[in-house]
């Protein structure tokens, strides 16, 4: 397979225009960490964007960073950490889950629109993107957005890139807002709750004035011991202590509880964020379900009666990670029948299964038609990542 690795926007335009002339479909990659996410593609060439990797602007006092779309996420995390800042939406590193040896890139972070445990408080990647630059499937260089929060009237094309999985444009530059990292953190751990009890406790905590920044539940099979309900508090130490004591009184748990101090708390939430319980070599498939939090326990219980599976919850029960045995349809029919509201994404499976099972939640006809019109507007000949999200585009 041919591979193109342009070093400038002008050379990228030339590559795309040549592909258009020959109708050559291109697979867009940064570090290739998410190549196993989505449907397999039949492409004639690879478009490697990893040369667009320089940080061109970082102004900590303005809470803004601009960098090439191919910049490694771990490098940017270190740069932000040195200045006491972070991406508030906690982008996950799914290299362990997807079997990659490399960290993801800023462009991949935006294209997949994935976010971590603070999603309910801080939003997703699309809520923090300020601007992008790239080349459309028409072979035209474009820019959208800018360096401030209020930078557009009309359509916000930068946000449109979020969740597009490289099917709309080859991004060369992204600008994100950053936020100060909390001075401290602590996690309150309640032990031994059932799924229903845990979701009730998490919901009560998140609705309280205690400013809980994340809530997750690891059932016994995943926690490898006793089930753990995790409630994270962030801020200055005196505030954390006050809110923790108030939270304990409010929940009045009959189950045992303890606190994880800062270092252990961070390690625990990285494990939840990066789906460590299901990472590593395995032939089992992994699903990511987004459901109303109040329905989380019911959905998991219904599926557990039919499948040999392990699972855990994030986002107060609204995000369920499932690990299921390999079957012909990856249990897609059972899983999607169990979630009348929400959506299910097949995150890990072998290539044959990903080629035969809808990876992403099937869209209603009207929404699918709109997505097709957007695809045609950016990439009328379908040369960027054809078929990655669904057959046809």
Asked if residue 34 lies in contact with residue 110, where contact means CB atoms within 8 angstroms, the answer is: no
What average pLDDT does the segment 315-321 reach? 98
pLDDT band at residue 340, thresholds of 50, 70 and 90?
A: confident
pLDDT band at residue 347, thresholds of 50, 70 and 90?
A: very high
Residue after which a domain boundary falls, among 253, 273, 293: 273
Quick: pLDDT tens for 116-164.
999 999 999 999 999 999 999 999 999 998 766 554 545 588 999 999 9
Asked if residue 161 lies in contact with residue 97, where contact means CB atoms within 8 angstroms, the answer is: no
The full DSSP string for 326-345 is --TTTTHHHHHHT-SSSEEE
Same domain for 221 and 136: no
Here the tokens at position 160 are 């449109």
What average pLDDT does the segment 372-379 reach? 94
Quick: pLDDT tens for 7-46.
999 999 999 999 999 999 999 999 888 888 999 988 989 9
pLDDT at 90: 97
From 18, 132, 49, select the one nearest 381 (Cα to Cα): 18
From 163, 138, 161, select the one nearest 379 (Cα to Cα): 138
pLDDT band at residue 392, thresholds of 50, 70 and 90?
A: low
- The tokens 């409010």 sit on which residue? 250
DSSP 347: E
CATH number at residue 216: 3.30.70.3450
Same domain for 384 and 329: no
> What percent of the chain has pLDDT above 70?
97
Same domain for 330 and 313: yes
Same domain for 242 and 301: no
List of long-range contacts for 2-8, beta carbons under 8 Å, 24+ apart:
2/44, 2/45, 2/46, 3/45, 3/46, 3/48, 4/45, 4/46, 4/47, 4/48, 5/48, 5/50, 5/51, 6/47, 6/49, 6/51, 7/51
Range of the domain at 194: 184-273
Counting the structural domains of the chain, the total is 3
Buried b (16+ CB within 10 A) or exposed e, 17-55: eebbeeebbbbbbbbbbbbbbbbbbebebbbbbbebbee
Quick: pLDDT tens for 266-317.
999 999 999 999 999 999 999 999 999 999 999 999 999 999 999 999 999 9
Same domain for 203 and 129: no
Residue after which a domain boundary falls, among 245, 273, 301: 273
Same domain for 167 and 60: yes
pLDDT at 252: 83
pLDDT at 155: 58
Same domain for 208 and 94: no
Average pLDDT taken over every residue of the chain:
93
Q: Range with the lowest mean pLDDT among 173-177, 374-378, 389-393?
A: 389-393
Q: What is each CA distance from 389 to 10, 12, 22, 275, 382, in whole angstroms?
A: 28, 23, 23, 22, 12
Quick: pLDDT tens for 223-277.
988 999 999 999 999 999 999 999 999 998 778 999 999 999 999 999 999 999 9
Selected residue with higher pLDDT from 366 and 393: 366
Same domain for 106 and 161: yes
Same domain for 153 and 73: yes
pLDDT at 51: 96
Same domain for 283 and 223: no
Same domain for 102 and 117: yes
pLDDT at 390: 80
CATH number at residue 302: 3.30.70
Is 285 strand, coil or helix?
A: strand
Return d(Cα 309, Cα 324) in angstroms, integer.
5
CATH number at residue 29: 3.30.465.10
Same domain for 189 and 176: no
Residue after which a domain boundary falls, among 224, 242, 273: 273
């Amino acid at each position: 397979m041919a591979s193109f690795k342009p070093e400038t926007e002008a050379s990228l335009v030339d590559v795309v225009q040549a592909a258009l002339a020959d109708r050559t479909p291109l697979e867009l990659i940064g570090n290739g960490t998410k190549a196993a996410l989505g449907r397999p593609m039949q492409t004639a060439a690879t478009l490697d964007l990893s040369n667009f990797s320089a940080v061109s602007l970082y102004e900590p006092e303005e809470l803004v960073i601009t960098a090439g779309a191919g910049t490694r996420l771990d490098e940017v995390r270190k740069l932000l950490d040195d200045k006491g800042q972070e991406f508030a939406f906690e982008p996950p590193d799914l290299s362990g889950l997807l079997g990659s040896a490399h960290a993801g890139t800023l462009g991949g972070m935006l294209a997949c629109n994935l976010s971590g445990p603070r999603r309910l408080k801080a939003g997703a990647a699309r809520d923090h993107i300020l601007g992008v630059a790239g080349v459309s499937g028409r072979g035209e260089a474009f820019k959208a957005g800018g360096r401030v929060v209020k930078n557009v009237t009309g359509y916000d094309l930068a946000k449109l890139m979020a969740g597009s999985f490289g099917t709309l444009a080859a991004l060369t530059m992204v600008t994100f807002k950053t936020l100060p990292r909390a001075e401290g953190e602590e996690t309150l751990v309640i032990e031994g709750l059932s799924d229903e009890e845990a979701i009730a406790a998490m919901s009560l905590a998140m609705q309280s004035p205690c400013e809980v920044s994340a809530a997750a539940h690891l059932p016994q099979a995943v926690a490898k011991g006793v089930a753990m309900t995790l409630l994270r508090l962030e801020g200055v130490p005196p505030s954390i202590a006050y809110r923790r004591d108030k939270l304990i009184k409010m929940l009045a748990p009959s189950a045992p509880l303890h606190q994880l101090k800062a270092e252990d708390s961070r390690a625990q939430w990285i494990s939840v964020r990066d789906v460590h319980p299901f990472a590593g070599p395995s032939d089992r498939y992994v699903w990511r379900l987004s459901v109303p939090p109040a329905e989380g326990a019911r959905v998991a219980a219904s599926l557990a009666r039919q499948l040999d599976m392990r699972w855990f919850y994030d986002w107060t029960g609204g995000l369920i990670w499932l690990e299921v045995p390999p079957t012909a349809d990856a249990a897609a029919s059972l899983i999607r029948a169990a979630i009348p509201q929400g959506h299910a994404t097949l995150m890990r499976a072998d290539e044959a299964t990903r080629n035969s099972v809808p990876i992403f939640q099937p869209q209603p006809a009207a929404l699918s038609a709109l997505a097709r019109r957007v695809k045609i507007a950016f990439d009328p000949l379908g040369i960027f990542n054809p078929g990655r999200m669904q057959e046809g585009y």
